[in-house]
Amino acid sequence: MDITPYPKLFLANDLNEALRALRELADSAIPLAGATWVMRAPLRCETADRTLIDLSRIEALRTINIDQQEAVIGALATHEQIANALNGYNDLAALAQAAGHSANPAIRRMATIGGNICTAEFAAADLVPALLALDARLEIEGLDGSRTQTMAAFLEARATRAHTDLVTRLIIPRTQRTSTHARLTLRKAGDYPVANLSVSIALGAGGKISAATVAVGAVEAVAKRWTGFEEAIIGHAPSPEKMQMIAKTCLEEFDGRDAMDAPGWYRLRVLTGLVANAFSTLQETTLGRAM
Amino acid sequence: MTITLTVNREERIFSGDPRTPLVDVLRDHLRMTGTKAVCREGFCGACMVHVDGAPMASCLLPVGSLDGAAVTTIEGVATMEHLNAVQQAFEDHDVVQCGMCFPGMVMTMSRLFQTNTSPDRDEIKAAMTGNICRCTGYERIIDALMSIRTNEVTS
């Protein structure tokens, strides 16, 4: 294959140009969104000499639109943009908080939501559990057309997906729920979480939980829904103490990930504390006003 | 691939590998060594520069993505005769220790004071999250920054 028309960094002017380059260069190219993961490849001892297909000029992928039915977030929206745009929406608070507290301000200014969810090797992404908890769907475009996919389905196939398609938008249904995100870092700030958790709940009669979606990141290699806990908390008042007690009985769903920053058992140990923190935050903010 | 940048108000041309991090272009090609290459993963803040006005970690920016951008480094944030308010405060309060983190601190905090002329202590700490001082001089740095809370926008 003749790849000489492409420099080692190709600035795509539109989506079709990017998709064509990715298809023509196949494994010798990688999409570049915020650059915060790709540019650290040498620190991970990755030596592949790949062409970067820079998406940053595709302005259409930066937009964020929120109406009463859904929030549609372009894949190139940065964490900073998302935190600002979603501020004040109770149902979307988990994503706003995840975007607003990840890493540090300079990283949040660069790192994109598309890059965050497409980086299969990054287990501690904050946006992924938030998107799972908010029941987000992804819009994916290729030269053959576009399709949508649930976050769970995307994550299941993420590690082996080809980079010839691009995630273009995240679509989050608006609800009457309230949500929050909790994370534990080894340093107080500016660090990756050893565990993180997003919670989205609806309250029914008597202030009891009538519906819940909870997702956990960083504990295992890929973030996932905590379905046993979701079912167990239905019908209970959302007190932090009660929620933590229930969480302790639902930990068997996880197989903690051993890594340099923390052993697997530690991630599980702190997870129930994160549950208490998340429900405390809900009580102090939105639930406190609703109850 | 030839990349044209405006660095400290001067047009500069780079013709090497477009994937080269901006920090290496600044230090190795333009000999502007005030910007430090330390962690190379966006966590220490020592390589902070302004790109089109916003503080960015230059270790994570491939120079090819920046064609046409305006870059300001520590060498261009003020003049030797007239330091900006952040630089002056750091000097007046004698907070510079080893000096490795200070170019990045100045770049981050100069921008903070451009957008918020009277930040409180917590806002300063939050803005400083991505700038690590290995000499652990944080509280004195914050004291110095608190001393310049005015309505005057830094240059």
Q: Please answer whether residues A75 and A113 qualify as being in contact, where contact means their C-beta atoms are separated by less than 8 angstroms.
A: yes
Which of A115, A32, A187 has its CA nearest to residue B130?
A: A187
User: Chain A contact for B16, CB < 8 A?
Assistant: no
Lowest-pLDDT range, A3-12, A87-96, B72-81?
A: A3-12
Token pair for A64: 């964020």
A291 pLDDT exceeds 50?
Answer: no
Q: What is the mean pLDDT of chain A?
A: 94
Inter-chain CB pairs, A–B, below 8 Å: 86
Chain A contact set for B110 (CB, 8 A): none
- Which is more confident, A205 or A19? A19
Q: Please answer whether residues A130 and A100 qualify as being in contact, where contact means their C-beta atoms are separated by less than 8 angstroms.
A: no
User: Chain A contact for B64, CB < 8 A?
Assistant: yes
A4 pLDDT exceeds 60?
Answer: no
Cα A131 to Cα A216: distance, rounded to the nearest angstrom: 11
- Which is more confident, A160 or A80? A80
Cβ–Cβ gap B65/A39 under 8 Å:
no
User: Chain B contact for A274, CB < 8 A?
Assistant: no
Q: Please answer whether residues A92 and A172 qualify as being in contact, where contact means their C-beta atoms are separated by less than 8 angstroms.
A: yes
Position A80 scores a pLDDT of: 97
Give the Å distances, CA to CA, from B52 to A63, B49, B70, B111.
20, 10, 5, 12
Give the Å distances, CA to CA, from A180 to A62, A277, A279.
24, 10, 8
Fold of A59-120+134-173: 3.30.465
Cβ–Cβ gap B56/A109 under 8 Å:
yes
Q: Please answer whether residues A104 and A191 qualify as being in contact, where contact means their C-beta atoms are separated by less than 8 angstroms.
A: no
Position A46 scores a pLDDT of: 86
pLDDT band at residue A3 using 50, 70 and 90 as cut-offs: very low
3-state SS, residue A270 = helix
Q: Which domains, ranges and CATH numbers included, belong to chain B?
A: 3-72 (3.10.20.30), 85-146 (1.10.150.120)
Chain B contact set for A105 (CB, 8 A): 55, 108, 126-127, 129-130
Cα B124 to Cα A95: distance, rounded to the nearest angstrom: 24
- Which is more confident, A187 or B101? B101
Please give the ipTM for the structure prediction. Answer: 0.92
Domain A178-290 has CATH 3.30.390.50: yes
Cα A90 to Cα A100: distance, rounded to the nearest angstrom: 15
Chain B contact set for A39 (CB, 8 A): 21, 59-62
For residue range A65-109, list pLDDT tens digits in order: 999 999 999 999 999 999 999 999 999 999 999 999 999 999 999
Cβ–Cβ gap B129/A104 under 8 Å:
yes
Partner residue facing B1 (CB), from A7, A32, A39: A7
Position A289 scores a pLDDT of: 58
Cα B94 to Cα B11: distance, rounded to the nearest angstrom: 35
Partner residue facing B57 (CB), from A8, A42, A106: A106
Beta carbons within 8 Å of A105's beta carbon, 6+ residues apart: A80, B55, B108, B126, B127, B129, B130
